[in-house]
Amino acid sequence: MKINQIDVFKYNIPLKAPIAISLGTIENARNLLIRIHADGLTGWGEGSPFWMIVGETQETGFAAAQDFAKLLIGHNALDLEGNLNRLDAYLPNHPTIKSAFDMALYDLAAQAAGMPLYAFLGGKQRALITDETIYINTPERMAADAVRIQAQGGVAIKVKLGTNLRDDIRRVEAIREAVGDTIPIRTDANQGWNYPTAVNVLQTIQGWNIEYCEQPVKQGAIADLKRLREKTTVPIMADESLFSHRDALRLAQEEAVDYFNIKLSKSGGIFNALKINAIAEAAGIPCMIGCMSESRLAITAKAHFASARQNVTFFDLDAPFEHATDPVIGGAVYTGYHIGLSDQPGLGAEVDSHYLKSLENWTIT
């Protein structure tokens, strides 16, 4: 199954409004789209280069993608490991653009097998219910967002924190006052606290039905993550501390966290995400499937991955809620916060051809 054409697109998607986390503010989703043609089939992949986390931008990814495409053209599309090893051998790191190639190759392989991706990965359809994220704002605005999510039937609220002790406590307190104690809150500091601040915040809010705290301290502070587990009853989740299966092994060996957040744009794609989940499963660490600012195309791939792996127990797949437009045809379907998948072979999703015409692109045949 020979790869005979690869297209690379700067996949820009406007947001309804800027979104703010402790690391910075995003005005628009500046993603990357890969389309691989092989023996009459077309595979689609998307990466969202969140530069403040992965160290990639749309521009660097677009340049790297052209080199990667030259390495893969003419090769067997079904040689998943061989093709992905070619990319790793040529250019270390760059997980986001690699994840887009990985996704397109898995899409092709599942199509060639005549199977939806979740089945190709050895799983079955199961219930997936996403949370919704509230981004950093005033306590009053964040509380209002929480009320809206609860009224829409949300089962969990994810709250971005990581600015300072007083304001972050007040944000969570305001949300609890607004929505009551029943709906769980999932906090995410995105590395915004030092260890003393993390201890103070988490000990203050730990009785407020906090389901976990995601990446409270800097990504390299593994010892602090471990110490936090001993200082608070709030479970700790690794995000920016977890890029690869090697990171997963270290975190598991150190017993540093309670949960892993797997993101395809961090791991380099499905191939490595499967390794991370396998290590987590062996260590008794449940996982979450998370997102950057991907469209429903990549969200569909994440939903297939989550559906195929029972150890993935949390679902944070709300990125399309922030997008002002949806250029994806087919793929995952949201019914409120429930996510459904079709039985079409592969991802069962593609990007509208009219939308593609507006995007800067590059092609190799």
Which residues contribute to the annotated binding site for Mg(2+)?
Answer: 188, 214, 239
Binding-site residue positions? 188, 214, 239
Helix axes 222-231, 245-254, angle to 10 degrees: 40
Exposure string over 108-122, b if 16+ CB within 10 A, otherwise e: bbbbbeebbbbbbbe
| CA–CA gap between residue 286 and residue 314 (Å, rounded) | 8
Strand partners, 213: 187, 236
What string of H, E and C letters represents the secondary structure of 178-227? HHCCCCCEEEECCCCCCHHHHHHHHHHHCCCCEEEEECCCCCCCHHHHHH
Taken as a whole, the chain contains a residue count of 365
Please give the Cα distance from 311 to 309 (Å, whole number): 5
Phi, psi of 22 (to 5 degrees): -65, -25
Q: Which of 264, 272, 322 is closest to 293 using CA atoms? A: 322
Residue type, 42: T
Residues 6 or more apart whose Cβ sits within 8 Å of residue 166: none
How far is Cα 342 from Cα 346, in angstroms, rounded to an integer? Answer: 10
As annotated, the active-site residues are 160, 263
